[in-house]
């Protein structure tokens, strides 16, 4: 088939963001309220158009900064991760069903962001209404009654994008050190365990968990400090080590 650059069908390309964090022992996602039709007033995932000369990942990072003030840090530049609450960013999947946007043909490249709990309850930036909502309430709203009435079904196909992102996060922390992206720069083993418990929605044995993560070489490096911010006996503080793969993987208990 000969290639005719002037005859390609025109598409709009956007990035949508599944921004996840752990707050109060629950997995939460960032949602924004739409200011214009379609789906005006409804909640949606943050996102926006890719600019004409902008890389996809750069567009996702830009939108992330505009909505939350976060900065993604994929290649961890030296000690930048200490002074700045960075976040993990990766491409999730692309959604391009012809009628997913009633106005025009839009292909959206969704990205997944894992961020530590932010000091600001409501993320700042130029976002109109933005809030954290627990993913259980967001994902349950399709089938069951309105558990959290404030956020109904999300706009467009964002419920599915969110579900895909949550599933990706749940499976990826099994075999990688990605769960540390939910933690502040320095954290305890117990705090890391509560991340796993929140993301998976299960209870883990603290003793076995401790042995597992401290026994994997390169996964955690002790900083020397301790803290009692969780109460009880002082706990050692750790930073994420260089190891990005967790082998053997963390085992997710049966549901």
List residues near DNA by CB under 7 A: 188-191, 205-208, 210-212, 214, 226, 228, 230-236, 248, 251, 253
In the list DNA, its own copies, none, the entry touching 53 (Cβ below 5 to 8 angstroms by class) is its own copies
If binding is defined by CB under 8 A, does position 98 make contact with its own copies? yes
Residue 91 pairs in a beta bridge with 111
C-alpha separations of 178 from 38, 174, 204 in Å: 35, 9, 18
Binding part of the chain for its own copies, among 102-110, 147-155, 200-208, 223-231 by CB under 8 A, reads 102-110
If binding is defined by CB under 8 A, does position 163 make contact with its own copies? no
3-state DSSP assignment of residue 244 = coil
Please choose, from the candidates 55, 118, 110, the residue with its C-alpha nearest in 3D space to the C-alpha of residue 87. 118
| Shortest distance, position 64 Cβ to its own copies, whole Å | 14
Distance CA 43, CA 158 (A): 9
- Neighbour-count burial of 20, counting CB atoms closer than 10 A to its CB (0-12 exposed, 13-18 middle, 19+ buried): buried
| Shortest distance, position 203 Cβ to its own copies, whole Å | 20
Instruction: Tell me how far the alpha carbon of residue 131 is from its chain's centroid.
Output: 14
If binding is defined by CB under 8 A, does position 167 make contact with its own copies? no
**Dihedral of the CA atoms 204, 23, 49, 97 (nearest 10)?**
50
In the list its own copies, DNA, none, the entry touching 103 (Cβ below 5 to 8 angstroms by class) is its own copies
**Quick one: 100 or 239, whose CB is closer to its own copies?**
100
If binding is defined by CB under 8 A, does position 104 make contact with its own copies? yes
**Quick one: 54 or 174, whose CB is closer to DNA?**
174
3-state DSSP assignment of residue 212 = helix
**Quick one: 151 or 246, whose CB is closer to DNA?**
246
Backbone torsion region of residue 231, taken as left when φ is above 0, otherwise alpha when ψ lies between -120 and 50, otherwise beta: left
| Shortest distance, position 55 Cβ to its own copies, whole Å | 6
If binding is defined by CB under 8 A, does position 9 make contact with its own copies? yes
Distance CA 22, CA 117 (A): 6
User: Which tokens in the block code for residue 86?
Assistant: 């960075």
User: Which tokens in the block code for residue 81?
Assistant: 């991760």
If binding is defined by CB under 8 A, does position 78 make contact with its own copies? no
For β-strands 71-72 and 130-134, DSSP reports them as unpaired
| Shortest distance, position 174 Cβ to DNA, whole Å | 11
If binding is defined by CB under 8 A, does position 97 make contact with its own copies? yes
Among 18, 30, 64, 109, binds its own copies (CB under 8 A): 109
The residues of the shown chain that bind its own copies, judged by CB under 8 A, are 1-3, 5, 8-13, 36, 48-56, 91, 93-98, 103-105, 107, 109, 126
């Amino acid at each position: 088939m000969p290639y005719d650059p002037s005859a390609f069908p025109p598409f709009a390309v956007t990035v949508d963001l599944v921004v996840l964090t752990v707050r109060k022992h629950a997995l939460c996602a960032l949602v924004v309220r739409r200011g214009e039709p379609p789906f005006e007033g409804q909640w949606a995932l943050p996102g926006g158009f890719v600019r004409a000369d902008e890389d996809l990942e750069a567009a996702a990072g830009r939108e992330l900064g505009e909505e939350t003030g976060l900065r993604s840090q994929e290649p961890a530049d030296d000690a930048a991760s200490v002074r700045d609450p960075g976040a993990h960013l990766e491409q999730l999947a692309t959604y391009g069903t012809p009628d997913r946007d009633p106005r025009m043909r839009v292909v959206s490249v969704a990205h997944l962001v894992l961020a530590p709990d932010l000091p600001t309850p409501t993320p700042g930036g130029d976002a109109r209404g933005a809030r954290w909502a627990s993913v259980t309430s967001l994902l349950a709203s399709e089938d069951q009654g309105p558990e959290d009435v404030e956020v109904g079904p999300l706009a467009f196909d964002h419920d599915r994008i969110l579900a895909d992102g949550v599933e990706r996060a749940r499976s990826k922390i099994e075999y990688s050190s990605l769960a540390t992206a939910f933690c502040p720069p320095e954290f305890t083993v117990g705090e890391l365990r509560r991340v796993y418990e929140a993301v998976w929605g299960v209870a883990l044995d603290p003793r076995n968990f401790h042995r597992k993560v401290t026994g994997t070489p390169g996964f955690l490096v002790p900083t020397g400090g301790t803290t009692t911010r969780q109460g009880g006996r002082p706990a050692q503080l750790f930073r994420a080590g260089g190891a990005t793969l967790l082998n053997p993987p963390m085992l997710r208990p049966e549901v």
